[in-house]
Chain A
């Protein structure tokens, strides 16, 4: 893990030391995801969006112990052609959203985005209906492995509204970290409130 992740995190660390980026508090209470919606945080999170070099514009990333141990993606609303994960190399494109995705394709979009982050053997399961605020959506679970062989679990909730895809995605090592955060993640997902509805 040290060898593989070191390059990314050390680059981020250097930029941070240089004062180019900041990690911000995401305290207990309301957390706004852009202008689109808000969620309610039951515990203290850190907004690490600035140091996640591979996230797309309009995607927020929260963490408690650093992205290797827990990461919560909240997208402001992806439009046609937008991606959850940024492509850094032209020959390695990442999945992009299309407004006429079938429900299956929206789930595939999230799973393939997780794969584009570098996770291996990504599988989805337990697909079920959910409510993203006042919109009908989908919820599903994920499992994957890091390249070092650490098992990772995930939980996702997605909805399409007004030609945009809203995604809340949580990833954490299966050992301890996923289970520890599960109740909080559930609560966050159930707390979505769209603005200006």
Chain B
């Protein structure tokens, strides 16, 4: 009897919401680190650590012009918070951007690859600025603790004389898994942020606040709905079931539940508003020097459905036909589905007509024609490669490929 009272007492104490939690207000610009000992301080400290790790990281893209450009776009929408924010571009082939409570912002190369214009990038940055401005990370941390306390209380009640199975029903596995992961061991901002998942309400709030900042900065209001739409479309083309359904770990949908409702809200908000700055040319020019590296990185994910969808979108807007066409060919070459070799050849051949076709295009053609036993076309392609890339590090290899072709002709 006494034990039951003890358990009930503790369980009650655990499941009461944190009574002392202050309401989360809009953040003041130029905020200094909070009082030591507060939960804000702990979170700030964890993100300071993640920022130091980002500066040392093998994934950091330190290109000064790229960083300056993205920072400029960020400041256009972040306005009063511009001085609080420090931007880092990370070479990660996923659509993501995050603003941490200490002001450190990550923008991933996968996002830079997927925005079609400056306005679309600006909306995502405005969305993240709103999470930052409304202290959503802090609110999410409190929510997680509430849930974890609730789950622990439930667990204790249930283990007192009942089967523990089903103890965590109603609480998502990911939050419990997150609760068990030590945040002080997480040095990667994406992991810190996914530790505190934003709720649907917070995401809707960030969309709304992001939209307002987008428009205030003079950007086109349609960019908001359109970038989320591209993302949904692209995920719909994924090679993987889990991504198509939005359940994959690391999927943008895990931390940003994205659904039709949010899209309609943004489309409705844009209705009737005057067109604004899109910045297509400006944006593509800023990304151009990095397009090859970003696409190459994207291929490491081996989700060819998504990469092809992304490339097709970029090609539709015009420009970079050589580089984009080459990577279209790479997708087919790597995917190796039935008839993909033919598709790859078609894509590479189309790329060769553009001025920015990488020299590798001809070598890949040579290799594919060899695979298809078309010695004539292979020779033409290999010679074209050697003409265009006289200092290629694999020159000797291509020359020996040519020799092999000549020898088999001779027999």
CA of A121 to CA of B300, assembled, Å: 11
Residues of B within 8 A of A119 (CB): 58
* A103-139 interface code vs B (CB 8 A; 1 in, 0 out): 1110000001001100111000111110000000010
Q: Please determine whether B393 and A127 come into contact, CB atoms closer than 8 angstroms.
A: yes
B396:A148 contact, CB within 8 angstroms: no
Query: Cβ of B367 and Cβ of A105 under 8 Å apart?
Result: yes
Does A4 make an interface contact (CB < 8 A)? yes
Identify the stretch in B129-137, B241-249, B256-264, B273-281 within 8 Å (CB) of chain A at 4 or more residues. B241-249
Of B242, B249, B301, B371, which one neighbours A102 at CB under 8 angstroms? B371
User: Which residue of A is nearest B393, CB measured?
Assistant: A127
In the complex, the answer to whether B393 meets A147 with C-beta atoms within 8 Å is no
Chain B contact-residue range equals 20 to 34
Per the 8 Å Cβ criterion, residues 189-231 of B in contact with A are none
Q: State the majority secondary structure of interface residues on B.
A: loop
User: Do A90 and B187 form a contact, CB below 8 Å, given A115-B300, A149-B57?
Assistant: no
Q: Kindly report which residue of chain A lies nearest to residue B302, judged by CB atoms.
A: A93
A and B contact pairs by CB, cutoff 8 A, 24 listed: A3-B187, A4-B188, A6-B185, A89-B249, A91-B242, A91-B249, A92-B301, A92-B302, A100-B371, A102-B370, A102-B371, A103-B397, A104-B394, A119-B58, A120-B58, A120-B59, A125-B393, A127-B393, A128-B396, A145-B58, A147-B188, A148-B53, A148-B56, A150-B58
Q: How far is the CB of B59 from chain A (nearest CB, A)?
A: 5
Which A residues from 49 to 82 make CB contacts under 8 A with B? Answer: none
Question: Are A104's CB and B188's CB within 8 A?
Answer: no
Question: B58–A148 contact, CB under 8 A?
Answer: yes
- In the complex, besides A116-B300, A144-B58, 11 extra interface pairs with C-beta distance below 8 angstroms are A4-B187, A91-B250, A91-B303, A100-B371, A102-B371, A121-B59, A145-B58, A147-B188, A148-B56, A149-B57, A149-B58
Task: Kindly state whether residue A32 has any CB partner on chain B within 8 Å.
Answer: no
- Report if A193 contacts B (CB, 8 A): no
- Contact A147-B57, Cβ < 8 Å, known A91-B242, A126-B393: yes
A164 at the binding interface (Cβ < 8 Å)? no
User: A6 to chain B: which residues have CB within 8 Å?
Assistant: 185
Cβ–Cβ contact A91 & B240, under 8 A: yes
CB of A44, distance to nearest CB on chain B (Å): 31
- B363 contacts the other chain (Cβ, under 8 Å)? yes
Inter-chain contact B367/A102, CB cutoff 8 Å: yes
Look across to chain A and name the residue whose beta carbon is closest to the beta carbon of B240.
A91
* A146 interface contact, C-beta 8 A: yes
Q: How far is the CA of A100 from the CA of B340 in the complex (A)?
A: 14
Chain A residues lying within 8 Å of B303, measured Cβ to Cβ, are: 91
* B30 interfacial by beta-carbon distance below 8 Å: no
Measured CA separation A121–B187 after assembly (Å): 19
Contacts of A95 in B (CB 8 A): 302
